[in-house]
């Protein structure tokens, strides 16, 4: 059982929190307005302020907009030290050229890549708990990190959601994931009516690992 602090009460907080609660993990939700937790589609083990939610957590999920990460991380650096931090935030137009990953900016804010894992960037919230969302195939969660131990923790948590993992290597590769998200939105709008039940999958990997 892992204690996971999810920061934010939006679509991704709901999806990941519901999945990990179902898998038997303790999910603590942190919000600017903790009463918003009452509107979540699952019952967290705790809901409170950001600081309260972080207390006692092993893993932290940054389920807030990319610009908000720039405020959140410096304000809570003391509590983030030693945790596995899953950065799911998408920079979009904040980093239009994808020369560096959004997660690399998060690493700058943390002062280290230790513990930091970029993940779920290109997984629409609606596909997290619907293993048949993408043509009957469980979504593939791409992860990039420099810290192999932290990566292994996230691999386990992805499997607990009954989703597949694709190890995309080091953290700087997350810049490609950032770009894929922008194209994913374009494709979903063009070909699926913006239902957000689609997703990327790298194929041909069966029996090759």
Binding positions for ligand NAP, rule: CB under 6 A? 8-13, 31-33, 36, 63-66, 68, 72, 88-90, 120-121, 123-125
Q: Point out which residues pair with 140 in neighbouring strands.
A: 164
Strand, coil or helix: what is 99?
Answer: coil
CB of 116 to ligand NAP, least distance (A): 15
Q: Which of 122, 156, 117 is nearest to 139 (CA)?
A: 122
Which residue's CB is nearer to ligand NAP, number 34 or number 169? Answer: 34
Which residue's CB is nearer to ligand NAP, number 149 or number 183? Answer: 183
Which residue's CB is nearer to ligand NAP, number 4 or number 209? Answer: 4
CB of 92 to ligand NAP, least distance (A): 7
Residue 166 to residue 147: CA distance in whole angstroms: 15
Which residue's CB is nearer to ligand NAP, number 68 or number 187? Answer: 68
Q: How far apart are the first and last CA of the chain?
A: 27
CB of 161 to ligand NAP, least distance (A): 13
Closest chain position to ligand NAP (CB): 10
CB of 125 to ligand NAP, least distance (A): 4
Which residues, other chains included, contact 149 with Cβ-Cβ below 8 Å and sequence gap of 6+? none
- Per DSSP bridges, beta strands 59-62 and 84-87 are parallel
Measured at the CA of 83, the angle between CA 88 and CA 42, to 5 degrees, comes to 55
């Amino acid at each position: 059982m892992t204690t996971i602090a999810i920061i934010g009460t939006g679509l991704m907080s709901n999806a990941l929190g519901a999945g990990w609660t179902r898998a038997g993990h303790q999910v603590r939700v942190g919000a600017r307005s903790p009463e918003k937790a009452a509107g979540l589609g699952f019952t967290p083990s705790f809901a409170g302020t950001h600081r309260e939610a972080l207390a006692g957590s092993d893993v932290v999920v940054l389920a807030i907009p990319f610009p908000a990460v720039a405020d959140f991380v410096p304000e809570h650096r003391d509590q983030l030290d030693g945790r596995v931090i899953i950065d799911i935030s998408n920079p979009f137009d904040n980093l239009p050229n994808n020369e560096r990953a959004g997660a690399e900016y998060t690493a700058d804010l943390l002062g280290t890549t230790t513990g930091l894992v970029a993940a779920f960037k290109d997984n629409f919230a609606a596909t997290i708990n619907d293993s048949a969302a993408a043509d009957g195939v469980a979504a593939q969660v791409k992860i990039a990190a420099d810290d192999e131990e932290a990566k292994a923790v996230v691999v386990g948590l992805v499997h607990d959601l009954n989703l597949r993992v694709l190890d995309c290597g080091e953290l700087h590769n997350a810049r490609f994931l950032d770009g894929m998200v922008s194209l994913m939105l374009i494709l979903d709008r063009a070909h699926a009516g913006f239902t957000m039940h689609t997703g990327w999958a790298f194929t041909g990997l069966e029996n090759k690992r």
